[in-house]
């Protein structure tokens, strides 16, 4: 599943007729200054500045600033973009219109995909402390293939503790949320908070957390945005570059940076789990998560190899996979070999890094023969075929050095 940052989530809500504040997104103070001249509504409007990242607890971290004028807003942009704590750095901010409302009347709603359909959650007590009042959250199961009617939603909202005078507007709001959830291939949608204003439209969503099914992107040409890492931090440049490639190709390439001594380049999600467990069992630490699968093009595997093998502080690289059914091992190994050569030529991989390889599948003999040859170029490499257990190469990598 792919996490979507607030601005893109707001854009999708507006598409489905859900009221949202006016907003802009900036990645620098200089860009903010330009946006002021391009958006006259910002001058004279009370604004809110938030970190535009997929991280929880922004308000509690000081990553939400209420501002009375543009000078205050500019300072808020500067402060949030300079935030660097707990391994979190902020690359973008979202600047929103501060919708006038009663702070004591902030509400919570979410929709979650579940085994039997979707579950709608609703509470009259929203905002930053909603978790401490979770006992007030009411739940409504909407079975697969059904759509809640207006009467059901009004009764549900009344049961949750909302006043009778807003039940009609609230039922319409929840219907729009449900339609967005279903039609945009969402798996999770949270609005915390939404509020009621004195003028139409009465209900306005002030924030959004949204997860979409990344594999459904081909059905949505208007999804002109990337997905966030979902790790409680912003994506690195390397992670974003692989994500962009993943969105373009048949098959899949994935990459997440960690901070360990052993880099992994596994073929498939199953191999990535097996190898990661084996590294930890052997006393190593993971430098990354990665995988390529579904027979991706060799250039995509080459780019992934470059990112994996450029990681700093790596002592060993393990290139492993099970016995493939349809992925052309020779083709993907062509990408791996080219990636290794590029990293070595740029000086990004040390001479003392050991490389361990195990793979099986279509054209495996030719592929393994080609990657063995790069030992003549100075690479410290050991290569194994399907006769060696996948995790055995991890045990050998920690037991000995490549000669």
Structural domain of residue 121, as residue ranges?
106-219
Confirm whether 85 is domain-assigned: yes
**75 and 124 assigned to the same domain:** no
Identify whether 246 is part of a domain. Answer: yes
Judge whether residue 228 has pLDDT over 80. no
- Does 243 share its domain with 348? yes
113 and 93 in a common domain: no
Q: What is the pLDDT of residues 5-16, one digit of tens each?
A: 889 999 999 999
Instruction: Please provide the average confidence, as pLDDT, over all residues in the chain.
Output: 90
Mean pLDDT within 24-35: 93
Threshold 0.75, pTM exceeds: no
pLDDT digit string, tens, across residues 284-323: 999 999 999 988 999 999 999 999 999 999 999 999 888 8
Residue 16 lies in a domain: no
Tell me: pLDDT of 233 over 70.
no
330 belongs to a structural domain: yes
Percent of the chain with pLDDT over 70: 97
Do 393 and 245 belong to one domain? yes
Residue 212 placed within a domain = yes
> Are residue 271 and residue 340 in the same domain, yes or no?
yes
Could you tell me whether strands 354-360 and 380-384 are parallel, antiparallel, or unpaired per DSSP bridges?
parallel
- Is 1 domain-assigned? no
User: The dihedral of CA 179, 137, 20, 154: what is its sign?
Assistant: positive
- Claim to verify: residue 206 and residue 259 sit in the same structural domain: no
pLDDT of residue 133: 81
Mean pLDDT along residues 71-95? 87
Q: Are residues 123 and 143 in the same domain?
A: yes
Q: Are residues 91 and 213 in the same domain?
A: no
Decide if pLDDT at 155 tops 90: yes
* Over residues 336-344, mean pLDDT: 95
The CATH number linked to 71 is: 3.30.1490.20
Q: Which of 70, 97, 124 is the last residue of a domain?
A: 97
Element (H, E) at 203: strand 203-205
| Domain limit, last residue, from 189, 219, 249 | 219
Range with lowest mean pLDDT among 62-76, 221-235, 300-314, 370-384: 221-235
Based on the structure, what is the number of domains in the chain? 3
pLDDT in tens, 43-52: 988 999 998 8
CATH of the domain at 188: 3.30.470.20
Domain end (from 160, 193, 219): 219
**For position 370, what pLDDT does the model report?**
93
CB of 64 within 8 A of CB of 55? no
Q: Are residues 370 and 248 in the same domain?
A: yes
Q: What is the pLDDT of residue 26?
A: 93
Q: Is the pLDDT of residue 359 over 80?
A: yes
pLDDT band for position 264 (cuts 50, 70, 90): very high
Q: Would the CA dihedral through 392, 394, 397, 402 be positive or negative?
A: positive
Based on the fold, state whether residues 386 and 270 are members of the same structural domain.
yes
Q: Is the pLDDT of residue 256 over 80?
A: yes
Domain membership flag for residue 6 = no
Tell me the three state secondary structure of residue 287: coil
Do strands 117-123 and 138-143 pair parallel, antiparallel, or not at all (unpaired)?
antiparallel
Confidence category of residue 230, pLDDT binned at 50, 70, 90: low
pLDDT in tens, 385-403: 999 999 999 999 998 766 5
Residues 208 and 92 in one domain: no
Pairing verdict, β 186-196 and 209-212: antiparallel
In a domain, 4, yes or no: no
Q: Are 120 and 89 in a shared domain?
A: no
Are 289 and 254 contacting, i.e. CB atoms less than 8 angstroms apart? yes
* 21 has a pLDDT exceeding 90: yes
Secondary structure in 3-state letters for 217-249: HHHCCCCCCCCECCCCCCCCHHHHHHHHHHHHC
DSSP for 40-77?
A: GGGTTS-EEEEE-SS-S-TTTTT-EEEESSHHHHHHHH
């Amino acid at each position: 599943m792919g996490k979507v940052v607030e601005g893109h989530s707001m854009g999708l809500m507006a598409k489905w007729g859900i009221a949202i504040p006016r907003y802009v997104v900036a990645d620098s103070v200089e860009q903010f200054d330009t946006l002021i001249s391009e958006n006259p509504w910002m001058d004279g409007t009370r604004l809110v500045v938030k970190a535009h990242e997929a991280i929880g607890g922004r308000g509690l971290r000081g990553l939400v600033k209420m501002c009375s004028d543009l000078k205050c807003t500019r300072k808020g942009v500067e402060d949030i973009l300079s935030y660097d704590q707990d391994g979190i750095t902020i690359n973008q901010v979202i600047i929103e219109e501060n919708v006038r409302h009663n702070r004591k009347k902030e509400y919570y709603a979410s929709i979650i995909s579940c085994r039997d359909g979707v579950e709608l959650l609703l509470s009259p007590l929203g905002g930053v402390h909603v978790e401490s009042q979770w006992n007030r959250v009411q739940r409504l199961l909407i079975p697969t293939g059904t759509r809640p009617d207006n009467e059901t939603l009004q009764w549900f909202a009344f049961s949750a503790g909302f006043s009778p005078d807003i039940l009609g507007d609230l039922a319409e709001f929840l219907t729009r949320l449900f339609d967005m959830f279903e039609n945009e291939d969402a798996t999770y949608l949270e609005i915390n908070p939404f509020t009621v204003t004195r003028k139409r439209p009465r209900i306005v969503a002030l924030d959004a957390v949204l997860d979409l099914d990344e594999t459904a992107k081909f059905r949505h040409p208007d999804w002109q945005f990337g997905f966030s890492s979902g790790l409680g931090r912003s994506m690195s440049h390397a992670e974003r570059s692989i994500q962009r490639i993943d969105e373009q190709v048949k098959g899949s390439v994935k990459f997440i940076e960690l901070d360990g001594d052993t880099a992994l380049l596994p073929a498939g999600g199953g191999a990535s789990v097996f190898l990661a467990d084996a590294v930890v069992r052997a006393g190593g630490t993971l430098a990354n998560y990665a995988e390529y699968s579904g027979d991706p093009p060799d250039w995509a595997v080459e780019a992934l190899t470059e990112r994996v093998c450029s990681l700093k502080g790596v002592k060993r690289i393990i290139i492993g996979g099970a016995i493939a059914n349809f992925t052309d091992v020779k083709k993907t190994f062509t990408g791996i070999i080219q990636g290794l050569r590029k990293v070595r030529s740029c000086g990004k991989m040390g001479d003392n890094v050991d490389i361990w390889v195990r793979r099986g599948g279509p054209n495996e003999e030719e592929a393994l023969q080609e990657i063995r040859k790069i030992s003549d170029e100075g690479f410290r490499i050991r290569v194994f075929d399907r006769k060696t257990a996948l995790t055995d190469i991890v045990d050998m990598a920690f037991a000995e050095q490549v000669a």
